[in-house]
Amino acid sequence: MCSVGGPTIPLMPASTSYQTGHVQLYIHKHLGLFLTKNLTWKKHISEIATKARKRLGCIQKHKYRLCRRSLEILYLTFVRPVMEYGNVMFDAGNQEDLEILTNIEKEALRTITGARYRCNIELLYNEVKWPTIEKRRELQKIATLGKIIIKKFPSYLLDDLPTFYDNARMNRRNKFASPPYHKDYYKKSFVPASIELWNQLPLDIRCIDSYKALKSRLKRDNTKKVPNYYRYGTRPLNILHTKLRLGCSDLNSDKFLIGISDTDLCSCGEIESVEHYLLECGNNLVAKVTMLDSITDILLAKGLSQQMADDMLGVDLLLKGDPILSIEENERIFKCVQIFINDSKRFT
Ligand SMILES: [Zn+2]
């Protein structure tokens, strides 16, 4: 007979204690999850973090060789699944432990985008348009509870829910009554936490009766598409362009903000902001005029008036493109900007 836990057994370090006819384990790996005597997820998170870090390390060796899209695919297929297997369970873990996984994903985001260590994390997530790793765990919990409700899982799982199941309310609003709990730790476990998330969903989502449709709706509501032209250009120039967009470039104003430059001034005496570098500075004037003329030509060819083109020609267009333009037009604008970045030799 094998059991997990027991009131008289010490916690870590893990070992196995044998008693007559009865084996007690402090840690037991079951279906890839490390279950511990005290039901914390420290061991499991530590194990998957180690595995994920190793894999991310392999990807990082190719940070400057592979294009951004390849790095994204490698992370999404080889690293993130390691950190998400069983996440509906271990999301109840200690915040400090979960933070380890968050930090690995932040490191991955910096690898993919080429951003600096202290780059703003919200901007990084916005750059790749992913939900945060915490949000993905929430979505996975909703999807899993939905799968139980829609009876894609064995029916005994749904049969176990009636303790918390308010039939009258469920019929009208497709909501669950919140299960009673006395400890916060229990509140964070799968059933209560998923019910809380489920009850906050809009009614039309709670009424979806197909798991495929539910997954697709959750995905649609929580993901955005990255503009293809964000991946444009050779890797070194794409990184420099991206860093300007993320406000973590080697321009003095960006470096001054995080304390790695004594000054925020350009060699011309003005504050060296992104706008100053791309549009205003007198340095590299020929390259700048060439870039701005080329971009103006693209806008005029689109059918915009000179006035409209002048109004549109700003930092946002140069760094983020514009949705009214086609992908090809935005790529041509990005090409002009990256030629300027290269010719200005500001970051060499
Ligand atoms: Zn200047």
Q: Which residue has the higher pLDDT, 288 or 92?
A: 288
Whole-number Å distance, alpha carbon 221 to ligand 1 midpoint, is 43
What's the CA-to-centroid distance between 115 and ligand 1, angstroms? 23
pLDDT at 76: 96
CA distance 310 to 279: 12
Q: How far is the CA of 283 from the centre of ligand 1 (A)?
A: 6
* Cα–Cα distance measured from residue 25 to residue 36, given in angstroms and rounded to the nearest whole number: 8
Name, in order, each residue with C-beta under 8 angstroms of 324's C-beta and a sequence gap of 6 or more: none
Mean pLDDT of the chain: 87
Rounded CA-CA distance 190/30 in Å is 17
Annotated domain spans of the chain: 40-120, 136-222, 233-344
Question: Residue 336: enclosing H or E segment and its boundaries?
Answer: helix 327-344
pLDDT at site 166: 53
- Per-residue pLDDT of 78-87, as tens digits, reads 999 999 999 9
The rounded Å distance from CA 265 to ligand 1 centre is: 8
Candidate from 87-96, 99-108, 158-167, 192-201 with smallest mean pLDDT: 158-167
131-148: average pLDDT? 93
Q: What is the DSSP string of 141-172?
A: HHHHHHHHHTT-S-HHHHHTGGGG--HHHHHH
The total of other beta-carbon atoms located within 10 Å of residue 298's CB is 18
Structure-token pair, residue 206: 């709670």
Inter-residue long-range contacts of 216-224, CB under 8 Å, 24+ positions, other chains counted: 218/139, 218/142, 218/143, 222/131, 222/135, 222/139, 223/129, 223/130, 223/131, 224/129
Tell whether the model's pLDDT for residue 182 goes beyond 80: no
Mean pLDDT of 38-57: 92
Whether 175 has a pLDDT exceeding 90, the answer reads no
Ligand 1 centroid – CA 289 distance (Å): 15
CA of 274 to the centre of ligand 1 (A): 10
Q: How many angstroms separate the alpha carbon of residue 337 from the centre of ligand 1?
A: 17
Query: What long-range pairs does 215-224 form, CB within 8 A, spacing at least 24?
Result: 215/143, 218/139, 218/142, 218/143, 222/131, 222/135, 222/139, 223/129, 223/130, 223/131, 224/129
pLDDT over threshold 90, residue 243? yes
For residues 82 and 52, the answer to whether their CB atoms sit within 8 Å is: yes
pLDDT of residue 18: 44
- Supply 132's token pair: 């945060």
pLDDT of 54: 97
Residue 140: predicted pLDDT: 95
User: Hey, what are 175's tokens?
Assistant: 């909501």
**Measured in angstroms, how far is the CA atom of residue 239 from the centroid of ligand 1?**
22
> Could you read off the pLDDT of 220-237 as tens digits, one per residue?
999 889 999 999 999 999
Entry pTM: 0.84
Distance (angstroms) between ligand 1 centre and the Cα of 268 equals 4
Instruction: Give dist(CA 321, CA 111) in Å, integer.
Output: 23
Tokens of 189: 């476990």
Separation CA 235–CA 326 (nearest Å): 22
Give percent above pLDDT 90 in the chain. Answer: 63
Separation of alpha carbons 32 and 82, rounded Å: 10
How many Å lie between the centroid of ligand 1 and the Cα of residue 273? 9
Span 311-319, mean pLDDT?
96
Distance in Å, CA 310 to ligand 1 centroid: 21
Residue 272 C-alpha to ligand 1 middle, in angstroms? 6
